Amino acid sequence: MKISIVGCGYVGLVTGMGFAKLGHEVTFVDLDDRKIEAINSGKPPIFEKGIEELMEKNAGKYKATKNYESIKETDITFICVGTPSKEDGSIDLTFVRSAASETGRVLKEKDEFHVVVVKSTVIPGTTEEVVKPIIEKESGKEAFRDFGLALNPEFLREGKAVEDFFNPDRIVIGVKDERTREVLEELYSPFKCPKLITDIKTAEMIKYASNAFLATKISFANEIGNICKKLGIDVYEVFKGVGLDHRINPAFFRAGIGFGGSCLPKDVRALIAKAEELGEEPKILKAVIEVNERQPLRMIELLKRHISSLEGKTIGILGLAFKPDTDDVRESRAIPIVKKLLKEGAKVIAYDPKAMNNFSKIFPQIEYAGTGQEVIDRSDAVLIVTEWEEFEELNYRGKIVIDGRRIKKAREALVYEGVCW
Ligand code: UDX
């Protein structure tokens, strides 16, 4: 098939390159010149494991352009633009609206049936109440008759997005018309995982409920972890036992300093905002966010048990990315931690294998080290914020270490404190 992808972030790029590998012809559309140039020269505009190789091996099967007109030559358009948070937590649909209207304008000039698939994470109701009327107005055509419209959420983890694209747990397709359903069933026929066909609103909600539940698991593990810490119990042992119950499953119980990234915090907040708009009080979801906001600051409380005044002290930070194997610092737990340390008058020296450049855009005033060992050697105490594998190779002897992510080797430190263990 000929596929166009609007929006070349993690989701758009990985989805498009995945389809290219499966033999489709892919056209990427984005407004950012830098991304277009990078893709056209076979270089990934983002850091994501496996994507460069995928781009090299499938050269010739994809191209990138700024021109929306090229959608016309394709059979399906995936809208993969970002849905950031507004101040009040609700989602900002600016990019979704403009992608829909540009797509609609192009469809006006096309006679054949064209399928538009929303892959961006959007609050239930958005595809039919926002995207559909925009495309209809701009194209002068009727949805589900002249063009298809569907919602197909992504469940890609950053750092493992390529692996997740080819080995999904499930594929969710929200559709209304038969023709669109057939096109998407054919597109996804090489995948052998369970496929769930639902109406559009349900598919939108599956994405939110999945991310909200993952976030809940983490905050729950952290709350139990905080209690365990007081009782002298290892929370990781506890969840090993809990996770063996087949109704529960062991994943996503890694207690520590909470969740960051581009999805979990934003999606939970958006769901809270929507629930409140509907007159519901989402008590659990609010608590999930509260626990998550408090958790990174517990590291500083633990640190102050050992260094009561941080004024003028050099505090080392190991890890700035919101999780390992990415350069992404969006909602990284390092942000509130560094903010608090600076407020307390500490000097901060940080290291991350991939995310220093991105982090320095938010915190240009802190020092960035060349290696993790330099951070340890030059600081009065070290906070471990991201569990990069290379942090297992460092020498922590003689130091005060507060560990937010369970790095085994750090236990050799003079003083070692786990945040929940
Ligand atoms: C998430 C979802 O997993 C994915 O399905 C969705 O499509 C996008 O959002 P991602 O944001 O890439 O993916 O990261 P994920 O691996 O889910 O981790 C999110 C955050 O939770 C990270 O900050 C991580 O450190 C934290 N986390 C995860 C924990 O603190 N404990 C855990 O047990 C698991």
Per-residue DSSP letters for 91-106?
Answer: B--HHHHHHHHHHHHH
Residue nearest to atom 6 of ligand 1 (CA): 155
pLDDT in tens, 254-277: 999 999 999 999 999 999 999 999
d(CA 135, CA 114): 12
* pLDDT level of residue 308 (50, 70, 90 thresholds): very high
**φ, ψ dihedrals at 129, nearest 5°:** -95, -20
User: What are the two backbone dihedrals, phi and then psi, of residue 58, each rounded to the nearest 5 degrees?
Assistant: -110, 20
186: burial class by Cβ within 10 Å (0-12, 13-18, 19+)? exposed
- Does the C-beta of 260 come closer than 6 Å to ligand 1? yes
Q: Is the CB of 406 under 6 A from ligand 1?
A: no
- What spacing in Å lies between the alpha carbon of 215 and ligand 1's midpoint? 8
pLDDT, tens only, 86-128: 999 999 999 999 999 999 999 999 999 999 999 999 999 999 9
Top mutation candidate among 222, 323, 328 for ligand 1, by most atoms within 8 Å of CB: 323
Return the residue whose CA atom lies nearest to atom 14 of ligand 1.
157
pTM of the model: 0.96
Tokens 């099967």: give the residue.
61
- Mean of pLDDT values over 339-359: 98
Number of H helices, E strands in the chain: 15, 14
- Residue 315 pLDDT exceeds 90: yes
> From CA 236, how far away is CA 51, in angstroms rounded?
33
Q: What distance in Å separates the CA atoms of residue 69 and residue 302, rounded to the nearest whole number?
A: 57
Query: CA 239, CA 242: separation in Å to the nearest integer?
Result: 5
Query: What tokens were used for 263?
Result: 């999805």
Q: Is there a contact between 70 and 76 (Cβ–Cβ < 8 Å)?
A: no
Contact 372 CB / ligand 1 (< 6 Å):
no
Which residue has the least CA distance to atom 25 on ligand 1?
A: 323
Which atom of ligand 1 lies at the shortest distance from residue 160's CA?
Answer: 12
Please give the share of the chain, as a percent, with pLDDT higher than 70: 100
**Which pLDDT does position 47 carry in this prediction?**
86
Please check whether residue 114 is in contact with residue 75, taking contact to mean a CB–CB distance below 8 angstroms.
yes
CA distance 74 to 1: 8
Going from the Cα of 158 to the center of ligand 1, the distance in angstroms, rounded, reads 8
Distance in Å, CA 186 to ligand 1 centroid: 30
Report how far Cα 3 is from the mean position of its chain's Cα atoms: 24
Say if residues 343 and 303 touch (Cβ distance below 8 Å): no
Residue 187 Cβ inside 6 Å of ligand 1? The answer reads: no
Q: 63 - beta bridge partners? A: 27
Catalytic hit among 8, 80, 228, 263: 263
Residue 54 burial class via C-beta count within 10 angstroms: exposed 0-12, middle 13-18, buried 19 and up: buried
Angle at 27 between CA 125 and CA 59, to 5 degrees: 135
d(CA 261, CA 332): 6
Q: By alpha-carbon position, which residue is closest to atom 13 of ligand 1?
A: 157
Active site residue 80: no
- In this model, does residue 367 exceed pLDDT 90? yes
* Protein residue with least CA distance to atom 31, ligand 1: 254
Which stretch of DSSP H or E encloses residue 49? none
CA–CA distances in Å: residue 136 to residues 80, 93, 140, 149, 155: 19, 17, 5, 11, 28
Q: What's the CA-to-centroid distance between 252 and ligand 1, angstroms?
A: 8
> DSSP E strands: which ranges in 152-260?
171-174, 195-198
- Distance from residue 154's CA to the centre of ligand 1 (Å): 13
For the segment 142-181, what is each residue's pLDDT rounded down to a tens digit? 999 999 999 999 999 999 999 999 999 999 999 999 999 9
Q: What pLDDT, in 10s, does the model give residues 61-91?
A: 999 999 999 999 999 999 999 999 999 999 9
Calpha distance 17→162 (Å, rounded): 9
Tell how strand 367-368 and strand 347-351 pair up.
parallel
Does residue 343 surpass a pLDDT of 90? yes
The answer to whether the beta carbons of residues 324 and 387 sit under 8 Å apart is: yes
Residue 402, class by beta-carbon neighbours within 10 Å (0-12 exposed, 13-18 middle, 19+ buried)? buried
**Across residues 3-31, what is the average pLDDT?**
97
Query: Ligand 1 pocket: which of 13, 263, 419 to mutate (most atoms <8 Å of CB)?
Result: 263
400 and 333 Cβ atoms separated by less than 8 Å? no
